A and B are shown apart, each in its own frame.
Chain A
């Protein structure tokens, strides 16, 4: 049962345009969400995060939107650049973990969307 879903395995966008990557989740306990970017032969790199108390978070060209009622989040990249071509992973976590009375948990990842920026 996939708790975090990225339904588009790939997305092609022209350089300079907006890239929109989508993510859906099913677990109501998730209240902290992150986007990671991954190049081939490297580990995932943190991009941006959002807590469920917010519906938007911006960092330069990257903006994450959270719609809690729809259990949906999206990552907007404006403008898209060739260096943005990578696999993008959506991840989620509960901010409170029951295992050890408040300790952290691992992240639950989606399967990724391969973003291709065309010149």
Chain B
């Protein structure tokens, strides 16, 4: 158990819909990262937040957005969903914003878009 929790574990929805994925970091961790794992692309970095502020962006679509709240939990919002958005979404957390800090991953949310 990494100490990072993600809800829900599974989500099935239809094209065009909007969903919210939630992540609670390990106690004391200030950074939260979101990753997408699809069959053909592997694990891809989406976005990072540190202490409530956006710190880095990766391959995140404009239809996707995220935020980190004062209690440090984070939400990833996916809108106008397409079939290709079906994937595993992982959240990770680390103590600070240094890239040499170990990132601890949650169990993931499996999103299926029908």
A residues adjacent to B (C-beta < 8 A): 32, 34, 36, 41-46, 49, 51, 89, 91, 93-97, 99-100, 103-112
> Which residue of B42, B48, B104 contacts A104 across the interface (Cβ within 8 Å)?
B48
B residues adjacent to A (C-beta < 8 A): 2, 4, 31, 33, 35, 42-48, 50, 55-58, 90, 92, 94, 96-108
B-chain residues with CB within 8 Å of residue A32 when the two chains form the complex:
99-100
Chain A residue with the shortest CB-CB distance to B44:
A109
- The CA-CA distance from A51 to B102 in the complex, in Å, is 13
List 5 A–B pairs whose Cβ atoms lie within 8 Å, in order of A's numbering: A43-B106, A95-B99, A104-B50, A108-B45, A109-B35
State whether A45 touches B2 (Cβ < 8 A).
yes
State whether A43 touches B108 (Cβ < 8 A).
yes
State whether B99 touches A43 (Cβ < 8 A).
no
- The CA-CA distance from A99 to B48 in the complex, in Å, is 11
- The CA-CA distance from A41 to B110 in the complex, in Å, is 9
- A43-B4, A43-B105, A43-B107 in contact; A110/B35 too (CB < 8 A)? no
State whether B105 touches A44 (Cβ < 8 A).
yes
State whether A99 touches B56 (Cβ < 8 A).
yes
- The CA-CA distance from A62 to B24 in the complex, in Å, is 30
A-chain residues with CB within 8 Å of residue B104 when the two chains form the complex:
46
> Which residue of B31, B56, B90, B100 contacts A43 across the interface (Cβ within 8 Å)?
B90
B-chain residues with CB within 8 Å of residue A97 when the two chains form the complex:
56, 99
Nearest CB on B from A5, distance (A): 10
Most B CB within 10 A of own CB, among A32, A49, A100, A104: A104
